[in-house]
A = this chain, B = another copy of it.
């Protein structure tokens, strides 16, 4: 997408509608950073006063105390804090490094926080696209998360609208007539990953449009990406 970097107050939906005119049945994937900027979820580290807990944790993990203060303020709880790594569960339920706070591709000394509610953001952007150009493509908001057991990050969905994030094949029959007992595909996450492949990390490009997946796009906004969060009672790694 040929768009400038977003600033606080930008109407992302309208800007994307003007620039890319996404159509019915398409999936528009935005980077978390673009959405966070438009929503004013940017903080200057110089404005942060780290508390005692943040200072202690920062010293132990060799991190910036101001960053750790923001991480804690965004966190519901700490999942792991060792070997220089700080993994939290955010107030909106994401388990990720540093509460999703991102220091790259920003003016020096600034960081982004995750959108307060990525699903609300996605719904708002979708409505705005529909108002601007009449089409209601699905909207996914993607962020790069690390994984247990595997190196590197992949983009996953932290917000979506117009896409059932989990494509549930359980109970359907496979090609040999056997019942699919465990097949639930996280299509929102796969769409986020696919979109990430199409753009360079330093390009400033705020997103990508995926075509050809019309069967996944729904008229209703649906349950959102938060429905991908594994309930704590079922989680073996928290």
Chain A residues proximal to chain B, CB less than 8 Å: 80, 82-83, 85, 87, 94-95, 97, 103-108, 144, 147-156, 165-167, 169, 172-178, 180-187, 189-191, 193-194, 196-198, 201-204, 210, 212-213, 227-230, 234-238
Contact = CB atoms under 8 A, between A and B. Distances in A.
Protomer copies? 2
B230 A213 contact: no
16 contacts: A104-B174, A104-B182, A105-B178, A106-B176, A108-B178, A147-B148, A148-B235, A148-B236, A151-B230, A152-B228, A153-B183, A154-B185, A154-B189, A185-B201, A190-B194, A237-B237
Contacts of A187: 197
Contacts of A144: 183, 185
Contacts of A107: 176
B204 A196 contact: no
A149 B229 contact: yes
A196 B103 CA distance: 31
Contact of A201 (B97, B166, B180, B181): B180
A37 B69 CA distance: 52
Contacts of A166: 151-152
A178 to B, nearest CB: 6
Residue from A83, A165, A193, A228 whose CB has the most chain B CB atoms within 10 Å: A193
Contacts of A191: 197
A160 to B, nearest CB: 13
